[in-house]
Amino acid sequence: MAESTLIETEKVTKRFGSLTAVDGVTFSLREGEAVGIIGPNGAGKTTFFNLLTGLFPPTEGKIRLSGNDITNAPPYKRVMMGIVRTFQLVSVFDSLKAIDNLVLSHVKFNPDYKTGTGFFFSNFHQEEILGPCREALRRMRISHKAEIMTSELSYGDKRKLEISIALSLQPKILLLDEPFAGLSDVEIVEVLDLITKVKETLTLIIIEHKISRIVDLVGRLSVMHEGRLLAEGTPKEVLCDPVVREVYWGKEEGLVCSV
């Protein structure tokens, strides 16, 4: 993939009253990159994701996608533009079959879909819709569970389902917010392997506290602290940064500068 700038922020800031959650962050992401955003709890990482995806409007600053100003674009339009995310807590519908979670999201963000007097899944079980949904489940290796009620899936499979939903929307940029949260060690290995394969075909930003799990996944780490972008570089450069180690890695056992 060409390495043109895909998304960028210019001194983006978000204040909640007297609290500044994100403070003048200038950030850019090239097409095809995989970037990790790390930092202590309360550093502003998820708020920054919320700014990128339009859930929060910035107090100050600009956000651009492929050079176009999207600062004021609502979340649903950003999804249609190709900015898709997952959340810290798995966000799926337990009352639906696994496949219908994808169908619902697919038609919701389809510009050709017009809301009528009611919603009936039978109207949308057509190959043009089911095809991308099945392919996304296949990529997450849960296609054999397509007809199972979501409530019956394990938490790990629900996480895979959530990522499948995001993939079915054919994103240009996939934002993963702590995808390993709540998973067992075995599930983490499985999901990490799947994400590693996914990143070969799209641009990725991942927030994760389990830093040792992503040092081989991403080409760049961006460190946030107290709402600011503290440092950026390759995983090795960041791990060896004395300021970063002082504010973050001093609390993380097992991470060494030689990574």
Q: Do 21 and 46 belong together in one domain?
A: yes
pLDDT digits (tens, 9 = 90+) for 3-14: 689 999 999 999
Q: Do 104 and 128 belong together in one domain?
A: yes
Number of domains observed in the structure of the chain: 2
Q: Do 120 and 157 belong together in one domain?
A: yes
Q: Do 105 and 158 belong together in one domain?
A: yes
Q: Do 253 and 203 belong together in one domain?
A: yes
| Helix (H), strand (E) at residue 60 | strand 60-65
pLDDT digits (tens, 9 = 90+) for 77-112: 999 999 999 988 888 999 999 999 999 887 777 666
* Chain position carrying tokens 């709402």: 227
- What is the pTM (predicted TM-score) of this model? 0.88
Output the CA torsion 199→157→53→181 (10° steps).
Answer: -90
Q: Do 251 and 181 belong together in one domain?
A: yes
| 87 part of a folded domain | no
Tokens of 85: 């995310």
pLDDT of 217 > 90? The answer is: yes
Q: Do 111 and 38 belong together in one domain?
A: no
The answer to whether 154 touches 92, Cβ cutoff 8 Å, is no
**Which residues pair with residue 68 across a beta bridge?**
65
Question: For residue 237, what is the domain's CATH number?
Answer: 3.40.50.300
Q: What is the pLDDT of residue 116?
A: 47
Q: Do 27 and 60 belong together in one domain?
A: yes
The answer to whether 75 touches 55, Cβ cutoff 8 Å, is yes
Average pLDDT for residues 197-222, to the nearest whole number?
93
Q: What are phi and psi of 205, to 5 degrees?
A: -125, 130
Q: Do 254 and 201 belong together in one domain?
A: yes
Q: Do 19 and 97 belong together in one domain?
A: no
pLDDT of 124 > 60? The answer is: no
Q: Do 77 and 176 belong together in one domain?
A: yes
67 or 247: which leads in pLDDT: 67
- Give the C-alpha separation, 37 to 35, whole Å: 7
**Which residues pair with residue 25 across a beta bridge?**
12
Q: What is the pLDDT of residue 259?
A: 55
Report the first-to-last Cα separation within the chain, whole angstroms. Answer: 27
| 1 part of a folded domain | yes
Q: What is the residue range of 117's domain?
A: 93-170
pLDDT digits (tens, 9 = 90+) for 152-202: 999 999 999 999 999 999 999 999 999 999 999 999 999 999 999 999 999
| 12 part of a folded domain | yes
Percent of the chain at pLDDT exceeding 90: 73
Q: Is 205 left (phi over 0), alpha (psi -120 to 50) or beta?
A: beta
Average pLDDT for residues 137-147, to the nearest whole number?
96
123 or 23: which leads in pLDDT: 23
| 88 part of a folded domain | no
pLDDT of 227 > 70? The answer is: yes
